[in-house]
Amino acid sequence: MICVHLDKMMRLRGVGLTELAEKVGITNANMSLLKNGKVKGIRFETLSKICEVLSCQPGDILQYMEA
Amino acid sequence: MEIQKIKKIATAFVIIFALTGLISLFFIAPIPYIRDQQWEAQPTALGLVEMIGYIVCSLSVYALLFLILKAVLSGPNDTLFKDNFAKPAFLGGKILFCGSLAFEILFIIALIVRIVSKNLFDGSNVYMAIVNGLGFELACVLIGLIGLAISVALVLFGKTLRKGEEYKEDSEAIV
């Protein structure tokens, strides 16, 4: 399964949920869902914007873990 | 209104309310106990019951305030304000409801006992006895009723927000 470590990266960069959602261009609710790993999938477009805003790699946010 | 503004207003409200409540806990709670001590030369069990009732209610209010404050001050890095507020509001409402109910029962019993035993009307100054004795109990009953109303509102509010959470948990969104 894929684990989302968005909260960890947000904390490291000192970026809030609202700020990140605004910069990425998605709603607060969707960003909250993504942060809590409650989404079915993520678009490459959204992922690249998050990486751009947080200055990180997709691997810093997403991690594969055995179920 | 923006979430950040709501957070600031809620924080200020909670701090002011908690401070005034804390002061009142130390000054108002011993009133029945002290009053009985003055009138009857020794503290009565009834005064003690009233004091305990007040403290129980106050503590339940502080438990609620603590939960709300924790939710409010959780910071922008956490999940949505709504997400943080729903559970504490629901739990806090239940705690406040139980506390207020206990408070109500204790004070209504105290009120009935005082009226039945007529110990308020034994003194020469009946007017002062009513003001000092019944006034406190009636004021406390009123506060308790307000507490109950607030708790019911919080439970309903918490439930409404939780509905939103449940909807989100079922989400199959692709963001």
Q: Confidence band (pLDDT; 50, 70, 90) for A58?
A: very high
CA distance B105 to B99: 10
Least CB–CB distance from B173: residue in A28, A35, A40: A40
Q: What does the pLDDT read at residue B140?
A: 66
pLDDT tops 60 at residue A52: yes
Find the closest chain A residue to B82 by CA distance: A29
Domains of chain A and any CATH numbers: 2-64 (1.10.260.40)
CA distance B28 to B32: 8
DSSP class of residue A41? B
Q: What does the pLDDT read at residue B78?
A: 44
Rounded to a whole number, what is the distance in Å from the CA of B11 to chain A's nearest CA? 18
CB within 8 Å of B13: residues ≥ 6 apart: none
Terminus-to-terminus CA distance in chain B, angstroms? Answer: 25
Tens of pLDDT, residue by residue, chain B (175 residues): 555 666 666 667 666 766 666 666 666 666 666 666 665 555 566 667 767 777 776 676 666 666 666 665 554 444 555 555 666 666 666 776 777 677 777 777 777 776 666 555 555 555 555 556 666 666 666 766 676 676 666 666 666 655 555 445 445 678 7
ipTM of the predicted structure? 0.75
Q: A39 and B171 in contact (C-beta within 8 Å)?
A: yes
Choose the most confident range, by mean pLDDT, from A19-23, A51-55, B90-94, B128-132: A51-55
Residue B99: exposed, middle, or buried by beta-carbon count in 10 A (0-12, 13-18, 19+)?
A: buried
Least CB–CB distance from A36: residue in B3, B77, B79: B79
**Among residues 33-52 of chain A, which lie with CB inside 8 Å of chain B?**
33-36, 38-43, 46
| Tokens of residue B127, six digits | 């007017």
Least CB–CB distance from B79: residue in A19, A35, A39: A35
Please, which residues bridge with residue A4 across strands? A62
Q: What does the pLDDT read at residue A44?
A: 92
Residues in B closer than 8 angstroms to A11, CB to CB, are: 77
| Tokens of residue B68, six digits | 């709300």
Q: What does the pLDDT read at residue B173?
A: 75
Q: What does the pLDDT read at residue A24?
A: 93
- Whole-number Cα distances in Å, B167 to A7, B26, B155, B164, B171: 22, 44, 18, 5, 7
- Whole-number Cα distances in Å, B89 to B25, B62, B68, B170: 23, 13, 7, 22
Find the closest chain B residue to A26 by CA distance: B175
Residues in A closer than 8 angstroms to B80, CB to CB, are: 17, 28-29, 32
